[in-house]
Amino acid sequence: MDKPNLKKNDKLELSINDLSYEGKGVAKVDDFTLFVDNALPGETVNAVITKVGKSYGFAKALDIIKKSPDRVEDIDNVYVQTGIAPLSHLSYAQQLKFKQHQIEVNYQKAHLDIKVNDTLGMDDPFHYRNKAQVPVRQIDGKLTTGFYRRHSHDLIPMEDFLIQDPKIDAEIIRVRDILRKYKVRGFDEENHKGQIRTIMVRRAYYTGEMMVVLVSRVRDISHYKDITNEIMANEDVKSLYLNINEKKTNVILGNEMMLLAGSPYIDDELLGHAYRISPRSFYQVNPIQTQKLYQLAIDKADLKGNETVVDAYSGIGTIGLSLADKVKKVTGIEVVEDAVKDASQNADINDITNADFLVGKTENVLNDWAKDKRKVDLLMVDPPRKGLAQSLIDSINNIKPKKIVYVSCNPATLTRDLKALSDTYEIKETTPVDMFPMTNHIESVTALTRK
């Protein structure tokens, strides 16, 4: 069918029949798909076209003629506009169903007969993030913190970020006001001038310790000693860093990290183990749900106590160390050298002697082990969004682990990888875990048993 005669800025009435994986409403004009911001299934909206492509287009709802009973109205629309909480206009019960449904749709398209369980949600799906990276700009002559409008670099000034730990929000305001007091300038992105680009704050959930990182375009900040003293006056702040990022880039952290005061790390706990977190450590941002996610992964592994385990993409060792007391041996493998150092240190802190951590690619290690006739009973994988490399799937077919537990953050690549492994592994079910309430991100746990 020919594309309907639609162009940018056209206004029209649309009936919304679905939600896309990004959480946008889906409408059809003839057979042409439009993705509509701030629209929910079952709604009729007046909308304006914002972009028309060859096979689909985009629109945004101007007003709602017929509302969904699942629409939430008492949360400020700014959280949808900035993309901080793109699903905050949808009831939480429906968010959980949406995440379950997204995985089901992917499996159906791939002809995979795998049951998708109900999503494990939170009692309180707000104020959960233990890490914030808040952009800083110079607005009306003042250093200002906030967040970008979606698909732009227009900063909307904000103080309450809805999904962040409230103590982090308060600390960002406090640091902002200290920087203002000493006339430090916010970053001017257009002209690549100014000083502070980002304020990053991490807060350990169990210990309450905080780390502050000031990301600056320049090394020299006037009054930096006074600023350091005032930031460290909050007894919860255990660590203060200056990060230098001189480049014209969207990457937040630069290469150079200088400790201005306090400890080089903060301490936290997870499933009864202690962890040291440094500025660049990968550490899950939702501490309550992380425990559910890892406990589920351990339960799905159905451990007997004599297993040899490989923890791929092991990061600072959180999954591998969480199950070390339930198995014979854990080997964590990670390409980031600093993370491997952190993981080894975390093993020492917890007196865990049956776990070691290697720098490298999991596929290379598995292929070497296969040549030496070494066995892997359980392979734990928690890959980035791009999923498993084909070379890793090939190495799995080489070494033939009895069981795989796949922790995924992307239903599309999860589906692709399960399809590739489904000839040799039995896969019964997937359980989604809501690690990022109010957003469209979906984590899940799936167990695979060798046929």
According to the model, what pLDDT value does residue 82 have? Answer: 83
Own/partner long-range contacts of 246-255 (Cβ < 8 Å, ≥24 apart): 246/217, 246/218, 248/192, 252/133, 252/197, 252/198, 252/200, 252/215, 253/200, 253/213, 253/215, 253/279, 253/280, 254/215
Answer yes or no: 372 catalytic: no
Q: Which two tokens stand for residue 263?
A: 């400890």
- Which one from 48, 274, 409, 420 is the annotated catalytic residue? 409
Lowest mean pLDDT among 150-154, 175-179, 217-221: 150-154
Query: Mean pLDDT, to the nearest integer, of 349-364?
Result: 96
75 Ramachandran zone, left/alpha/beta (phi>0; psi -120 to 50): beta
Tens digit of each residue's pLDDT (9 = 90 or more) over 15-66: 999 999 989 999 999 989 999 999 999 999 999 999 999 999 999 999 999 9
* Cα 195 to Cα 246: distance, rounded to the nearest angstrom: 10
- Residue 346 exposed, middle or buried by CB count within 10 Å (0-12, 13-18, 19+): buried
Mean pLDDT of the chain: 95
Query: Mean pLDDT, to the nearest integer, of 360-377?
Result: 92
Tens digit of each residue's pLDDT (9 = 90 or more) over 251-292: 999 999 999 999 999 999 999 999 999 999 888 999 999 999
Cα 250 to chain centroid distance, Å, stands at 17
Cα 385 to chain centroid distance, Å, stands at 9
The string over 322-338, giving b where at least 16 C-beta atoms fall within 10 Å of a residue's C-beta and e elsewhere, is bbbeebeebbbbbebee
**CATH topology identical between 11-71 and 104-122+286-450:** no
Look at residues 265, 263, 425 and name the one whose alpha carbon lies nearest to residue 406.
425
Q: Which run of H or of E encompasses 399?
A: helix 390-399
Query: Mean pLDDT, to the nearest integer, of 169-178?
Result: 98
pLDDT exceeds cutoff 60 at 1: no
* Cα 211 to Cα 416: distance, rounded to the nearest angstrom: 38
β-partners of residue 431 are 445
Asked if 352 and 343 touch (Cβ cutoff 8 Å), the reply is no
Look at residues 433, 420, 371, 359 and name the one whose alpha carbon lies nearest to residue 99.
433
For domain 131-270, give the fold.
OB fold (Dihydrolipoamide Acetyltransferase, E2P) (2.40.50)
pLDDT exceeds cutoff 70 at 244: yes
pTM equals: 0.92
According to the model, what pLDDT value does residue 2 have? Answer: 62
Tens digit of each residue's pLDDT (9 = 90 or more) over 432-445: 999 999 999 999 99
According to the model, what pLDDT value does residue 77 have? Answer: 82
Confidence class for position 129, pLDDT limits 50, 70, 90 = very high
Taking domain 11-71, whether its CATH number is 2.70.170.10 is answered by no
Percent above pLDDT 90 for the chain: 88
Tens digit of each residue's pLDDT (9 = 90 or more) over 82-92: 888 999 999 99
* Cα 41 to Cα 39: distance, rounded to the nearest angstrom: 7
In the chain, domain spans: 11-71, 104-122+286-450, 131-270
According to the model, what pLDDT value does residue 151 have? Answer: 77
Confidence class for position 79, pLDDT limits 50, 70, 90 = confident
Candidate CATH numbers 3.40.50.150, 3.40.50.2300, 3.40.50.620, 3.30.1330.60; the one for domain 104-122+286-450: 3.40.50.150
According to the model, what pLDDT value does residue 182 have? Answer: 96
Provide CB contacts within 8 A for 402, sequence distance 6+. 376, 377, 378, 449, 450
